[in-house]
Amino acid sequence: MAESVLVAQEGGVLRLTLNRPDRLNAFNEEMHLALRAGLERARDEAGVRAVLLTGAGRGFCAGQDLGDRDPRKGGDIPDLGVTLERFYNPTLRLIRALEKPVVCAVNGVAAGAGANLALACDIVLAARSARFIEAFAKIGLVPDAGGSWALPRLIGEARAKALALTAEPLAAETAADWGLIWKAVEDDALIAEAEALAARLAAGPTLGLGLTKRLIQAAATHDLDAQLDMERDLQRQAGASADYREGVVAFLEKRAPEFRGQ
Ligand code: LHQ
């Protein structure tokens, strides 16, 4: 059986490709565990300095595999809270806590938890033909995989509610105009652009980029005073790094820096 997540390292970039294309890369347990293992590898291996997440085939991810719990088969009412606690929430937490950039290349439709998985990544590029669908309302569920948290923060309550209550598809270009994602790119340029971005980030000052991610994420729950204190503390840490030294020396020597990620 094909691997449900393809894992490939190219230089400092760990590429994770959701790989159940005949189901538009909907999540089953195996794919959950494989994605988590890939993210844990990214966290644990110093040689991984950026992650590129994408999907195989014509979709990015259609959320949970709805065939896994066919209500027509009877049995107990499924506890979806357990599914979130065991599978989605650890993955979402891993992405947010990973102190390395995570680039997402949304190659096609991103629906339900699949849309929200993309939104959890640090820089999201989407193919112009891709759509984002907060599909939950169509089946009587609430947004999960961090969507109810990310949507109002990224695009405000009015747009977040409209997307989640109507489950209307949002075109990639509108998603970019609204600030839901970084940008929409031509379909045939998506992967090359995402790869180039991930490679550039992987050659960057990883420690400083990781601290930057931590800082920006903390702003959501900080007031200005707390954020200024945190900037002071993290800048102290960044300023003691080898990459800071290299960055300044390279600037003074008018050459490109060679960051080692430390
Ligand atoms: C699928 C799926 C799918 C299985 C396409 N499952 N097969 C968390 C906790 C626990 C449980 C519940 O959920 C959650 C979070 C969630 O993610 S809930 C939201 C789940 N996702 C959805 O409701 C989206 C369902 N899919 C769709 O609405 C459409 O497939 C979209 C709009 C994504 C794409 O439409 P089309 O481009 O027209 O493709 P299609 O519908 O023809 O799909 C292609 C194939 O993929 C098809 O199979 P088939 O054998 O007929 O070729 C679909 O059945 C299959 N597929 N999504 N989630």
- Which CATH number goes with the domain that contains 159? 3.90.226.10
Q: Which two tokens stand for residue 207?
A: 């420690």
Element (H, E) at 6: strand 5-10
Output the CA 24–ligand 1 centroid distance in Å: 7
Q: How far is the CA of 137 from the centre of ligand 1 (A)?
A: 13
Pocket around ligand 1 at a 6 A CB cut-off:
23-24, 26, 62-67, 80, 83-84, 109, 111-113, 133, 135-136, 138-139, 141, 144
3-state secondary structure labels for all residues of 12-32 = CEEEEEECCHHHCCCECHHHH
| Ligand 1 atom at minimal distance to the Cα of residue 24 | 46
Say whether both 65 and 150 belong to one domain: yes
Ligand 1 atom nearest residue 114's Cα = 17
Considering the domain architecture, whether residues 184 and 218 belong to the same structural domain is answered as: no
Interacting residues of 109 by C-beta distance below 8 A, sequence separation 6+: 24, 58, 59, 60, 62, 130, 131, 133, 169
Q: Which of these three, 202, 222, 241, is where a domain ends?
A: 202
Residues 213 and 193 in one domain: no
**DSSP per-residue letters across 15-77:** EEEE--GGGTT-B-HHHHHHHHHHHHHHHH-TT--EEEEEESTTEEE-SB-GGGG-GGG-SSP
Question: Tokens 């600030």 correspond to what residue?
Answer: 179
Q: Is residue 57 part of a domain?
A: yes
Substitution candidate for ligand 1 out of 19, 22, 24, 87 with most atoms within 8 A of CB: 24
Query: What local confidence, expressed as pLDDT, does residue 1 receive?
Result: 66
Ligand 1 atom with the shortest distance to the CA of 109: 33
Owning domain of residue 189 = 5-202
Residues 178 and 84 in one domain: yes
Residue 37 · residue 14 · CB < 8 Å: no
Determine the residue type at 244: Y
Q: Which residue has the tokens 């992987």?
A: 202
* Gap from CA of 65 to ligand 1 centroid (Å): 7
Tell whether 230 and 121 lie within a shared domain.
no
What is d(CA 71, CA 66) in angstroms, rounded to the nearest whole number?
Answer: 9
Q: What atom in ligand 1 is closest to the CA of residue 63?
A: 17
pLDDT in tens, the chain (262 residues): 689 999 999 999 999 999 999 999 999 999 999 999 999 999 999 999 999 999 999 999 999 999 988 888 888 888 999 999 999 999 999 999 999 999 999 999 999 999 999 999 999 999 999 999 999 999 999 999 999 999 999 999 999 999 999 999 999 999 999 999 999 999 999 999 999 999 999 999 999 999 999 999 999 999 999 999 999 999 999 999 999 999 999 999 999 999 999 9
Please list the residues that pair with 134 across neighbouring strands: none
The pLDDT assigned to 76 comes to: 86
Residue of 4, 23, 65 best suited for mutating to test ligand 1, as the one with most atoms within 8 Å of CB: 23
Q: What SS3 state is found at 217?
A: helix
In a domain, residue 159? The reply is: yes
CA 163 to ligand 1 centroid distance, Å? 17
Domain match, 124 and 58 both: yes
Could you tell me which of 1, 58, 53, 52 has the C-alpha nearest to residue 25?
A: 58
CATH of the domain at 214: 1.10.12
- Residue 36 makes CB contacts below 8 A (sequence gap 6+) with 87, 90, 91, 94
Residue 70: both structure tokens together: 């066919």
Same domain, 113 and 92: yes
CB 2 within 8 A of CB 19: yes
* Domain-located, residue 262: no
Atom of ligand 1 lying closest to residue 145 CA:
15
Cα(144) to centroid(ligand 1), Å = 16
Asked if residue 259 is part of any domain, the answer here is no
Q: Let me know whether 130 and 231 are in one domain.
A: no
Q: Whose CA is nearest to atom 6 of ligand 1?
A: 65
Q: Which helix (H) or strand (E) holds 127?
A: strand 123-127
CB 20 within 8 A of CB 57: no
Atom nearest to 113 CA in ligand 1: 17
Domain contains 145: yes
> Could you give the number of structural domains in the chain?
2
User: Based on the domain organization, do 75 and 195 belong to the same domain?
Assistant: yes
- Angle, in degrees to the nearest 10, between helices 147-155 and 157-166: 130
Give CA angle at 253 (249, 258), nearest 5°.
55
Q: Which pLDDT value is given to residue 75? A: 85
